[in-house]
Structure 1
C-alpha cells in the first residue's frame, strides 16, 4: 500500500508515468519508517536508529545530540544526524529542497546526500544562506535503495542547527507498481558471531592502516551498549582522533603486547570510563605525541575514570600522556587497577582523587612519571576525602620526577609490598599540604615495602620516607616491616608546622650511609623493634 505521503493514486497499468512525492516534513512521524522515512545517527559508515523524544517532538540520542525534527537536524559530538529514505520499488528519484544553517554562528556543518554507500552531493554550509544540492536529479534506485540526508559537524557542534526539509520525487519503473511497499531499513552491519562481544572491525575499523578509527569505535560502542555486550579490539594498531568514552561498555584487546590504540591529538586523547561495570583490559594505549602538562587538563590523560563504579583496568600498557597516566576522580568507587604498566607521563602515573573510595592498585609497574608514581590526593574544595585505598605489590620509580607513593590527604590507606626506587623526592610521602589546601590524613598503614635510593633531587633533599604537614592534622600513620636503603640524602623524616600526632615505626630496617638516619622534628613518634635507628 502507498502511504498517505504519496501524492495521487497509482495506476498500475501506467506506473512508469506516475510520480509520487515524499516530503520529509509531511511524512514526519513519531513512528519509524513512516512514508519511507526513518531517523538515524551515523559514525563512519555505520548507521543506527535514533529514539523518538515525545517531549521535544524529535528523534534523538539519549535526549541529546544528534537529533532530527520535521524539517531540521543537529549533529552530535560522536554521531552525525541522519534522515533516511528507502525506495519502495525500482525507479528514478529527483531530490529538491534547500539547506541552510539556523543562524550565522559556529564553524558550519557538512551536508551530505548519500545513496547507499555512494556520495551524490556534499557541501559545507556556513550560514543562513540557502544552498541547493546539485547533481541529484534522475537518480536510478532499486527497491530497498537507501538515500541518506546527513548533517556532519565540522569541528565544534555549537550552533549546528541546520534547516533541511528534503523533497523526493519518485518515478517507478515500468511494472514496478505492485512492489511499492514500505520496507524495513537495511541492516548497517551484520550481527557479530560472538555471543558477548562486538568486534570493532564490524563497524569499519581497520588495523595498521594509519587512518582514524574513532568513528568505527564510537559506532561499535553504541551498538555494544544497546546489545548489552562488550567491544573487542583484535591484534593490530588503531588510531583515535578524539577522546574515547566507555559509558557502561567494556573494551577488551587481544593483549597489551598485541593491540595498540594510538591517540593522535595530544590535547584530547583520554580513554574515559563512566557508568557501572566497565572493564578496560588487554591493550596498549599510547599518544602519538605529547604536549607540556600546562594546566593538567584531564582530556590529556591516558585513562580517566569519571565517577565510575565497579570498574577494572587490567593488563593495560600506558605509553606517554600529556598529563596523568591513569586518573580516578568524581567519587569513583569499587575499582581495581592491576597488572598494568605506566610510563613516560607528564604528570602522575596513577592518581586517585576527588572523594574516590574502595580502590585497589596492585601489581603495576610505573616508570619515569612526570610527577608522583602513585598518588592519593584529597583537596578540601572537592568535598569528602579519598578513603579505603589499597596500594600493593607495585614496582615504581625509575627516575620519576617527584614522590614514589604519596598520600596527600585521605584516610584508611594501605600501602603494602611495593618497591619504590630512584625517585626525585621521597619514596613514601604522607602529607597535608597548605599550598594545595588538602585534607587531613588519618589511618595510613605502610607495610613490607622496599624503598631504595629515593629523594635524589636537590635542594629538597627528601629522605627515603617523609611525613610532612604544613597545615591540618596527620594522625595514626604506621610504618611496619619496611626496608629503607641507599637514601640519596637522609633516611626518615617527620617535618612541618601542621599538627602531626601519632606516627608509629615498628620492625623496620634502615640501611643508611648518607646524611642523618632520622630527622623527627614533629609529632609523637612511637619506635619499636626497628633496626638502624
Structure 2
C-alpha cells in the first residue's frame, strides 16, 4: 500500500546573533572552568574534597562509575550474526510507501539475533515496530524512520541486548499524549542500547525507559518532543545516560521518576549531557528517584522551572528521593520565560530540592550532595531547599548573577536540613543561611 505523507524537512539552525554568540562565549568559559575544576577535584577526591563529601556519596559515585561499561563497543558480538539489508528485502525507503509490515517481518526473521540495516532513504511506518528477539538491532546508514500515526509511533526494544544505532527518527504529532505507544523509542529489555540517534518529534517522550535494567542511552539528540526528552520510570535501574543532547522538549529534558504504583527507579549515572530550551519544565528532574549521580551536565534555558530538581510530587503520587549526587554541572538561564509568556514561573531555583507534601519519611527527600556546580544568570535562587528535605550537603558551588538568593532554606520540615554547607563562592555571603557562611 502506498500513502502520501508529509515528511518534515531536516531542522536547520539559524545563524546566531552577536548577543547569542557573546552569551555562548560566557557559558563556554564557565563550562571550561568547571571541566578544569572537575578534573582537579576528581584527582583530589581521595583527599580534601572527599573530607567534605558524606561517605554514602563517595561510595555511590564509585559504584555507579561501573555503569560506563554499558556503553563499551559491542561489534564483536554482532560480527557473527546475520545482517538483513532493507533494500535487498524489497523494503522501500521512498518517504511515501508504508513499509511497516515488511520492516516488522525483517525484524521477526532475526530469531537468533542480527542486524537490520536501513540504507539511505526515508522509511514510513504507521504503527509501532517491535524488536522482540534477543540481540537484534536496527542500524541506519543515512536512513530516516518516519512515523505517521501520532498514537502509534514507537520503536519498542523488548528483547534483551537489543539496540538502535545511527538512525534519524521523525514523527507526525498533533497534541501531547501519555501512552507508551506515543513515545518514539521505548526501552524494556535488559541490556538495551540506544546510541547515536537523532529523534525529532514525539507525541509523548523521545526515549521512554520503562522498567529496563542495564541500559545505555549514549550520544543521542532528542528534540521537539511533546513530553520529556528522555524519561525513565517504572523500575528503570542500572542505566547509563551520557553525551546526549535534548532541546525544545515539551516537558523535562531528562527525568527519572518513581511512581508509588510501580517499582522505584534509580542506580543511574547521568553525565556529560547538554539540556537546553525547556520552556515549561525542568532540565534534569529526579522525582522519587534513588541512588542517582548527575555530573558534568550542561543545563541552559528553562522557561519556568528548575535547571536540576530533586523532589517528590504529590500530584503524581511519587516516592521521596534519596541518595542523589549533583556535582560538576553548569546550570544557566533558569526560569527566564519572557514577560509576555502566559505561563507563570514556579519559583524553583537553578538547583531545587523540595518535598512540598511529605507526611512520612518515605515521602521526604533525603541525603543529597550538591557540590562543585556553576550556577549562573537565573531569575530565581541559586539553590533552594524547601519542605521535607533532610541531610543535604552543599559545598564548593560557584553561584553568580542570580536575581534571588544564592542558597535558601524555606519551610524546613526536617530536624537536620543541612548536614554540611561550606566553601561556596557567592556574590553576597551575608545573604547565605548562617550555617553556610565562611569564618568571620
Q: TM-score range by the shorter chain?
A: 0.7 to 0.9
| Aligned counterparts, 1:210-359, within 5 A | 210-225=96-111, 227-247=112-132, 248-255=134-141, 258-287=142-171, 289-294=172-177, 296-306=178-188, 308-329=189-210, 331-359=211-239
Distance 1:452 1:369 in 2: 17
| Aligned counterparts, 1:30-49, within 5 A | none
Aligned residue number for residue 405 of structure 2: 516
| Aligned counterparts, 1:415-494, within 5 A | 415-424=294-303, 425-457=305-337, 458-470=344-356, 471=358, 472-494=363-385
Aligned residue number for residue 14 of structure 2: none
Distance 2:164 2:255 in 1: 21
> CA deviation digits over 1:19-43, x for unaligned, max 9?
xxxxxxxxxxxxxxxxxxxxxxxx9
Distance 1:304 1:426 in 2: 26
Distance 1:303 1:385 in 2: 21
> CA deviation digits over 1:396-419, x for unaligned, max 9?
022442001010002110001000
Contact kept in structure 1, 2:349 and 2:384, CA below 8 Å: yes
Contact kept in structure 1, 2:228 and 2:254, CA below 8 Å: yes
Contact kept in structure 2, 1:426 and 1:462, CA below 8 Å: yes
Shift of 1:211: 0.3
| Aligned counterparts, 1:78-227, within 5 A | 196-225=82-111, 227=112
Distance 1:219 1:530 in 2: 58
After superposition, the CA RMSD in angstroms is 1.9
Aligned residue number for residue 36 of structure 2: none
Shift of 1:195: 5.8
Shift of 1:517: 2.1
Distance 1:434 1:399 in 2: 22
Pair 1:368-2:248 in alignment: yes
Greater percentage in strand: 1
> Unpaired segments of 5 or more residues in structure 1?
1-42, 45-193
Contact kept in structure 2, 1:260 and 1:283, CA below 8 Å: yes
Shift of 1:519: 2.1
Shift of 1:249: 4.9
Q: How many residues align?
A: 333
Contact kept in structure 1, 2:81 and 2:115, CA below 8 Å: no
SS in 2 for 1:433: coil
Which residue of the other structure, out of 234, 253, 260, is the alignment partner of 1:380?
260
SS in 2 for 1:216: helix
Shift of 1:475: 1.0
Change in 2 beyond 3 A, CA 1:240/1:249: farther
> CA deviation digits over 1:231-255, x for unaligned, max 9?
1111211111111011135333335
Distance 2:159 2:240 in 1: 18
Aligned residue number for residue 414 of structure 1: 293
Contact kept in structure 2, 1:490 and 1:512, CA below 8 Å: no
Distance 1:364 1:351 in 2: 13
Shift of 1:343: 0.3
SS in 2 for 1:217: helix
Aligned residue number for residue 393 of structure 1: 272
Distance 2:138 2:128 in 1: 17
Distance 2:114 2:150 in 1: 30
Which residue of the other structure, out of 372, 382, 402, is the alignment partner of 2:281?
402
Alignment TM-score, normalising by the size of structure 1: 0.60
Contact kept in structure 2, 1:337 and 1:361, CA below 8 Å: yes
Distance 2:402 2:370 in 1: 21
Shift of 1:199: 1.1
SS in 2 for 1:224: coil
Greater percentage in helix: 2
Change in 2 beyond 3 A, CA 1:476/1:237: same
Change in 2 beyond 3 A, CA 1:235/1:531: same
Change in 2 beyond 3 A, CA 1:467/1:195: closer
Contact kept in structure 2, 1:491 and 1:512, CA below 8 Å: no
Shift of 1:379: 0.4
Higher relative contact order (CA closer than 8 Å, sequence separation 6+): 2
> Unpaired segments of 5 or more residues in structure 2?
3-79, 338-343, 427-431, 433-440
SS in 1 for 2:228: coil
Distance 1:264 1:344 in 2: 16
> CA deviation digits over 1:489-512, x for unaligned, max 9?
22221113xx32101111111013
Which residue of the other structure, out of 424, 429, 432, is the alignment partner of 1:530?
424
Contact kept in structure 1, 2:245 and 2:275, CA below 8 Å: yes
SS in 1 for 2:367: strand
